[in-house]
Structure 1
Amino acid sequence: MELTCRYHDIVFSFALAFLLAWRCEAQFSMDSTISSRQLDSLLQEYAYGAFLQLHPRTGTPYDGDVPTNLTGVKVAALRLRCGSLRKRGVPSYKEFDIPTGVIIRPYVKRLAFVYQNLGNWSSYYYPLAGYTHLAPVLGLLAYNASNFSASNLPELDVTASSSPIWINFRNVRPAPSGFTAKCVRFDLNGSLEFTNITSSNRCSTFHHGHFAIVVNSTMIPAPSGEKHKSNLWKIIVSVVGGIVGLFLLSLLMVWLISYRRKKKLTKMQKREHMGVVLKMEQVGNARLPVAPMTRTQPVIENDFVP
């Protein structure tokens, strides 16, 4: 009875822990799953937060902080005067080279370029069916910079009128042999624009948006033996799991047998203390309790002998 209660307690504890972990994971997934457009709004707020903590200077980029659930994402903000941007451009803002002649619509006196580097979140927020990302997704969006505390700001339209905006990608993985990498622009409305990559992993654009270097993964042949290795690992894991399961089951059986023997011995000892102490004698190959000889001698009740 005691063993059964312990077993039920252990099973209940494991089940409760599993349920709580599952609920926490599900809650985190529901809270953390947002769209790419919602992410733009959040990153704009985090980038503007750098302006609030400092005394920002026009033309100086400031890095923002992101929460721990977006670890790997980088943001920055650069405040400019609209007229100065059109006349001088921005020769080097992170990976972006912004030329002169950039037109901002609608017109604002001061704007802020928000830089995004999505890092290992690139393929999560900007998946591209049939393609593999070779570099992190980079974003360049413009907002009104008249109020640093503003949130949910609409993006300003950025158009390069003469020379393109250049994106100099870093840490680009090489494309497989025989395949050509492509530049892709993710427009805010969801459309895609593919262009050829230039030397030194550079892409060009005339508009704002999100940019990446990708390669067509549907044409890349799977390595021979990859499927065989996968099946081999499944077999190995199954065999090892079976052996471990049998070992644990055997340990459980040994423990149960030992427990029953100890319990039986305990009962016998209790009876021994409650009753007459029996003498242990060797009977065959075992020592067994033997009752002593009767202490009262028999007496004939009637002396008459026929």
Structure 2
Amino acid sequence: MEFIQNFIIVFVLLLFVWEPLVRAQPPSSSRSSLDTTLQDYAYRAFHRPKTGRPYNAQVPSNFSGIKLSVMRLRWGSLIRRGVPRFKEFEIPAGVVEQPYVERLALVYQNLGNWSSIYYALSGYSFLAPVLGLLAYDATNISATNLRELDINATRGPISIHFTDVRTVPSGLTARCVWFDLDGFPNFSDLMTNNVCLTSHQGHFSIVVASTAPAPAPESNIPGNVKKNRGSKVWKIVGPILGFLVLVLLGLVVWRMRRYWKNRKISEMERQSEGGPPLQMTTIGNLRVPTAMGTRTPPILEDEYVP
């Protein structure tokens, strides 16, 4: 019974430690699932696709409001000439992808009214819909569940020209936000004419602080920005959480061993109490057990003398 009570206490402590951290994590699995679904529907727009030509794709009815487009490119063309205009994106020459593929596809997303659902940003309001630019292997245009390629602008940043932008509230400053593939936000300054810059793929928008001033910019190019403060906190909290879990698991193991040891001792005492009682005798002020008699009576040596 004592063991069960201790186990419950340890389990409750684990919940108190783990539950707030789980809530703090962004729903990356939901975003990843959305990207996978949109990649599948984007590739369906390919029908004898021509290189460098954008194709608008249809989204399922349960994602009504999302705009989707796709463009197939050769690696050599992308790195030599870039893409002058793909929706709101201007991609300069010098963009490379990893791992290397001969043909790749750029999938454009405009999440529209789904922006704040998949990319909720505490303390900020979106002034523009979230736009996505993701690269995939296009060697086989019938493939599904593809992983994103890692693209990097080496000669100059990719420009994002936002067209559907709400007016900035008086007294506040609009900022660019870039969500990396893990969903972590990175902030940078907004260029003139509602233009944001990046060196990597991901999801982008323009935001304004809704309750407090936005943090000071670390870089003008989101692609060169390190993880935001939240990711740094996770780097500190992660080892601490692991240590606490190890300590609590050690406590559970120790309590289990103690429980089974005490149970074994109790069983031995119970068995000893169930045996025949020993005869007691008094020696001084002590009572000690004594034998009922001796098996072989003593014989004096004189008895063998003739």
TM-score, normalised relative to structure 2 = 0.59
Partner residue, 1:209: 202
What is the Cα deviation at residue 90 of structure 1?
0.2
Partner residue, 2:287: none
1:37-58 deviation per Cα after TM superposition (whole angstroms, max 9, x unaligned):
100000000100000xx22100
2:33 matches 1:38: yes
1:56-88 deviation per Cα after TM superposition (whole angstroms, max 9, x unaligned):
100100011001111110111100000110000
Q: 1:75 aligns with which of 64, 68, 85?
A: 68
SS in 2 for 1:50: coil
Q: Distance in 1 between matches of 2:67 and 2:212?
A: 32
Note the 1:84-103 alignment, pairs <5 A: 84-103=77-96
2:97 matches 1:104: yes
Report if aligned partners of 2:96, 2:151 keep a CA contact under 8 Å in 1.
Answer: yes
Q: Distance in 2 between matches of 1:129 and 1:109?
A: 40
SS in 2 for 1:112: strand
2:161 matches 1:163: no
Same amino acid, percent of matched pairs = 58
Q: Aligned letter for 1:84?
A: S
1:114-169 deviation per Cα after TM superposition (whole angstroms, max 9, x unaligned):
00000010000100000000000000000000111111101000100011000000
Aligned length: 185
Q: Aligned letter for 2:37?
A: L
Partner residue, 2:118: 125
Q: Distance in 2 between matches of 1:92 and 1:190?
A: 25
What is the Cα deviation at residue 219 of structure 1?
3.4
2:181 matches 1:188: yes
TM-score, normalised relative to structure 1 = 0.59
Q: Distance in 1 between matches of 2:85 and 2:207?
A: 23
Q: Distance in 1 between matches of 2:136 and 2:60?
A: 21
2:54 matches 1:64: no
Q: Aligned letter for 1:166?
A: S
Partner residue, 1:244: none
Partner residue, 1:50: 45
Q: Distance in 2 between matches of 1:63 and 1:157?
A: 23
Partner residue, 2:133: 140
Q: Distance in 2 between matches of 1:205 and 1:190?
A: 15
Report if aligned partners of 2:179, 2:204 keep a CA contact under 8 Å in 1.
Answer: yes
Q: Aligned letter for 2:117?
A: Y
Q: Aligned letter for 2:192?
A: S
Q: Distance in 2 between matches of 1:59 and 1:207?
A: 20
Report if aligned partners of 2:179, 2:186 keep a CA contact under 8 Å in 1.
Answer: yes
Unmatched tracts of structure 2, length 5 or more:
1-28, 214-306
Report if aligned partners of 2:119, 2:183 keep a CA contact under 8 Å in 1.
Answer: no
The structure with higher relative contact order (CA 8 Å, sep 6+) is 2
1:239-267 deviation per Cα after TM superposition (whole angstroms, max 9, x unaligned):
xxxxxxxxxxxxxxxxxxxxxxxxxxxxx
Unmatched tracts of structure 1, length 5 or more:
1-33, 221-306
Report if aligned partners of 2:110, 2:131 keep a CA contact under 8 Å in 1.
Answer: yes
SS in 1 for 2:203: strand
Q: Distance in 1 between matches of 2:183 and 2:67?
A: 22
Which portions of structure 1, spanning 4 or more consecutive aligned residues, are displaced by more than 6 angstroms?
none
What is the Cα deviation at residue 191 of structure 1?
2.0
Partner residue, 1:18: none
Q: Distance in 1 between matches of 2:37 and 2:163?
A: 24
